[in-house]
């Protein structure tokens, strides 16, 4: 597959220069090369070197994500900000489709009726539709969505290929990520309060780059 980063020559030079600065300033780290590509892109997206100590990657996470993308897996996200940030062309090359249910009328109605949240109900809908199994799930905004994915895995047998759990915030954000680390599913999380949709997008784009390069 050809390089699909859609960068101009000048844009590529800027990105490569940014990565060189990150390499220099990060110094030694304990990440394997494919894992480092994920962490490096998160730092590139945030200009925050604290992610060196916050990102936790399951030993099988990168290979699971790459394998799932190459197989054309569903990509389930909690908010449209992640969907908007992803390269549809690159995903379409593998046959991957992005689903985000948080603004669906039935999801909103269920959240009101159940005194729940749209994030949690969106993940329940994804499970009902059968798109969680074999999926790459990315949560960047709603801790309740990540907590619900965890419940669906533990109690209802949902089996995504990879969970990217990086919700940002103060209420349940850190706790949702710690809970995700204990799931029987590979995970990539940003521990603590930091994270967000740009971090989720960065992780997914790193996995797409690895899929294209055949590096994992």
The C-alpha angle with vertex 42 and arms to 158 and 12, in degrees rounded to 5, equals: 120
Q: Is the dihedral of CA 52, 57, 59, 60 positive or negative?
A: negative
Structure tokens at 208: 């797409």
CA angle, 99 then 133 then 189, to 5°? 75
**What angle, rounded to 10 degrees, do the helices at 118-128 and 105-113 form?**
120
**H or E element that contains 187:** strand 187-190
Q: Quick check: is 44 catalytic?
A: yes
| Active-site residue (options: 44, 58, 127, 205) | 44
Provide Rg for the chain, Cα atoms: 17
- Alpha carbon distance 192, 214 (integer Å): 31
Which residues does the annotation mark as catalytic? 44
């Amino acid at each position: 597959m050809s390089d699909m980063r859609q960068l101009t020559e000048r844009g590529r030079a800027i990105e490569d220069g940014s990565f060189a600065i990150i390499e220099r300033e990060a110094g030694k780290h304990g990440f394997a090369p494919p894992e480092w590509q994920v962490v490096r892109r998160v730092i590139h997206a945030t200009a925050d070197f604290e992610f060196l100590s916050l990102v936790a990657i399951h030993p099988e996470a990168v290979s699971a994500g790459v394998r799932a993308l190459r197989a054309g897996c569903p990509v389930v996200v909690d908010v449209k900000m992640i969907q908007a940030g992803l390269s549809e062309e690159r995903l379409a090359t593998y046959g991957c489709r992005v689903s985000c249910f948080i603004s669906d009328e039935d999801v909103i109605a269920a959240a009101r009726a159940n005194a729940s949240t749209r994030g949690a109900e969106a993940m329940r809908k994804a499970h009902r539709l059968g798109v969680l199994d074999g999926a790459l799930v990315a949560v960047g905004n709603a801790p309740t969505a990540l907590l619900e994915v965890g419940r669906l895995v533990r109690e209802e047998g949902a089996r995504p290929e990879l969970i990217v759990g990086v919700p940002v915030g103060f209420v349940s954000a850190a706790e949702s990520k710690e809970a995700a680390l204990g799931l029987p599913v590979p995970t990539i999380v940003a521990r603590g309060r930091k994270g967000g949709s740009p971090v989720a997008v960065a992780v997914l784009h790193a996995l797409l780059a690895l899929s294209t390069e055949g590096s994992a």
